[in-house]
Amino acid sequence: MACHEFLLGLGDFEYVLTVVGLLYVAKVVLQGLWETINGVRAHFWSRLWDKRLVDTYGKWAVVTGCSDGIGKEYAKELAKRGMNIVLISRTLEKLQKVSSEIVQEYGVETEVVQVDFIDGRPIYEDIGKHLQDKEIGILVNNVGVMLSHPMEFELASEKDIWSHVNVNVASVPAMTKLILPGMLLRGKGAVINIASIAGCYPIPLMGIYAATKAFVDYFSQALEWEYRGSGITVQTITPAYVSTNMTKFSELIHKPSVFIPTAPTFVSSAINTLGYARRSSGYWAHGIQVYLVENFLNSWIFMYGNYMWNSLLLRNMKKNQAYQDFQY
């Protein structure tokens, strides 16, 4: 039976329901197809092309929170592609170690800036002095903190509150404000903002972290829209779990796997998406997770699921601690 004959044979109510159902299926299929094409372009096609970052964006890259984890790998990957690096982070010895590794391995210039982003507004004058007279081509707003483990808000300390505000939130527009004017004058540059899948919906027991990442995501997407056509690329990266110090409180999210890449695996993928995706998870397996979360979950299901998941992580962490205490 042809489709139109089938539809004509239905009653009015069934007809309306069938058409609505078919339209919904068509929307899901087309959306899935579109996301798949974009995903393949960002994560696989992009790898085939040599990226001339210095020519496209400028000589120097600035990476915040670069002495460990994702930031350290961004600094190394950008240096590998010939960029000089301004390394901004908190612990001087770690900064110096990363700096000498980069100079030795890639033969580029580095400049070390030791600041604690918790200190807020006063640090940006000092950072600005280090950036003067440099052609900054790429800014990676990476620095971020998270609660030491999932917890109810009343257990978070004053320091937790101000570090989330000053490190995760304030640093992103403040660093961008320092660097964007120079990029606009030159008509080229890229700002990469590291948000998180955690910013897609609120997350109980990690509420303050998720809220700061929603800020980064929204700010970054708005910035991208404002500077389209100016020569400036603004990219938002929304990773899921990456095996770094941030996830070490529970082996369930620290042990590397296909869905929990190490920082080098994650960044070698994420860096290729620059210029190929305005907003990307950075890594193909995280792309599937973000797609499912944003298209098939609502905030209630996401919050319920994350409340249960964070409670499980907390129990797992306590069990491991009890085991370790028992060993000693």
Q: Look-up: residue for tokens 């239905």?
A: 10
Q: Is 117 in the site for ligand NAP (CB under 6 A)?
A: yes
Alpha carbons within 13 angstroms on the beta-carbon side of residue 96 total 3
Q: Which residues of 201-214 are buried (b: 16+ CB within 10 A; e: fewer)?
A: bebbbbbbbbbbbb
- How far, in Å, CA of 250 to CA of 316, rounded? 7
Contact 15, 3 (CB under 8 A): no
Q: Is 269 in the site for ligand NAP (CB under 6 A)?
A: no
Contact 48, 20 (CB under 8 A): no
Which strand (E) or helix (H) includes residue 189? strand 189-194
Residue span binding ligand NAP (CB under 6 A) among the ranges 181-189, 242-250, 289-297, 307-315: 242-250
Residues 65-104 that bind ligand NAP (CB under 6 A): 65-71, 89-91, 94
Residue span binding ligand NAP (CB under 6 A) among the ranges 10-18, 110-118, 183-191, 269-277: 110-118
Residue span binding ligand NAP (CB under 6 A) among the ranges 6-14, 38-46, 126-134, 137-145: 137-145
Residue from 58, 137, 204, 239 in contact with ligand NAP (CB under 6 A): 239
Active-site residue (options: 209, 241, 276, 283): 209
Q: Is 183 in the site for ligand NAP (CB under 6 A)?
A: no
Residue from 145, 179, 183, 190 in contact with ligand NAP (CB under 6 A): 145
- How far, in Å, CA of 85 to CA of 101, rounded? 12
Q: Is 147 in the site for ligand NAP (CB under 6 A)?
A: no
Indicate if 241 belongs to the active site.
no
Closest to 239 in 3D by CA, of 282, 208, 192, 191: 282
Q: Is 157 in the site for ligand NAP (CB under 6 A)?
A: no
Residues forming contacts to ligand NAP in the complex (CB under 6 A) are 65-71, 89-91, 94, 116-118, 142-145, 163, 167, 194, 196, 239, 241-242, 244-247
Q: Would you name the residues annotated as active-site residues?
A: 209
